[in-house]
Copies of this chain bind each other. A is one copy, B any other.
Amino acid sequence: MAKEFEIRTDLALEEKESFPGDGGEIHGVSLKEWQDKGGNFKITEVVVLDEEGARAMGKPVGTYMTLEAKNLKWREKEYHTALAKELARQIERLMRRQCIGEDGNILVVGLGNEAVTPDSLGPRVVSQLRISRHLKKKYRQEMFGSGRSVSALVPGVMAQTGMETAEIIRGVVQETKPDMVLVIDALAARSVRRLGNTIQLSDTGISPGSGVGNHRSAITEEVLGIPVLAVGVPTVVGAAAIAHDTVGALIQVLNREQITQNIGQYIENMDPEEQYAFIREILDPEFGSMYVTEPDIDETIRQLGMLISDGIHRAVYPEDEREG
């Protein structure tokens, strides 16, 4: 189906894949891929270089790292440690580029709704972090040397607070003056096979979009005045994507058999506007906001929460190798 028609995704990688030829050359966008030594995971870097790239991708200029693991739910310690180290390496790389010093204060923000399991990743990660800003302020150099300090915020979602998440963060940033914000969020993917095995890191912050509960207007350097890194993990697929995929799969199946080929082609050749109207007809109006998730999402969130908080610890407290 044509591009105009696409269901939104929070993943730059999925956006990239949706281009014809599975990611051929796009002006203003660069792409690099590599594997870790152990062959356990794949890393993809999509850099949106300029405004042209930003228009093509529907994503702001910046760097988007994607870590794809075979199975984040696999409970093997070594595997988890390898992943956490890789995550730490990528976070550090982005922090260095943003010139976050050895004694910077990082405000970690756990976006999302604690009371809705697939949306609870951010609050969960924050609850497992070692918080140190208040201790460093109190005991200063003696105890903590010149290391980094961490503060944390779980702002809640608009239905719970009546406020934009961005308003809350802005206020807290102005009052407590951290050097960087690191937001953690549950994302919406376009494809079911992304759930629970992909981590996206970017230095662009978060722009108004889909997400699980859509709890954000721009949380970006432009708005906050300090760098914003974002760590996101897809935990849901918008229900609309399912209907979209079903129609896509239908066309494929129909195209395969000679007798039904012309039916498939007919649907495929509808112009995007028609297709859009068509999918909208199929979808119940109440359906748009629904999402699809896994039955064992609680276990996924538990494992991801440990993995990401471990990764952040390793990145922000490098001196503290013993730390869990």
Contacts and interface: CB of A to CB of B under 8 A. Distances in A.
A213 B162 contact: no
Interface in A283-324: 283-284, 286-287, 289-299, 306, 322-324
A311 B7 CA distance: 42
A131 B245 CA distance: 35
A242 B213 CA distance: 20
Contact of A152 (B135, B160, B263, B298): B160
A77 interface: yes
A132 interface: yes
A293 B250 CA distance: 24
A80 B324 contact: yes
B161 A131 contact: yes
A254 B278 CA distance: 9
A281 interface: yes
A1 interface: no
Interface residues of A, number: 80
Query: What's the number of copies of this chain in the assembled complex?
Result: 4
A318 B323 CA distance: 25
Interface string A116-150: 11000000001100111111000000000000011
Interface string A200-243: 00000000000011100000000000000000000000010011
Interface of A: 75-78, 80, 113, 115-117, 126-127, 130-135, 149-154, 156, 158-164, 167-168, 170-176, 192-193, 212-214, 239, 242-243, 245-247, 249-250, 253, 260, 263, 266-267, 278, 281-284, 286-287, 289-299, 306, 322-324
9 contacts: A75-B323, A77-B323, A115-B298, A168-B175, A170-B175, A192-B290, A193-B286, A242-B243, A253-B278
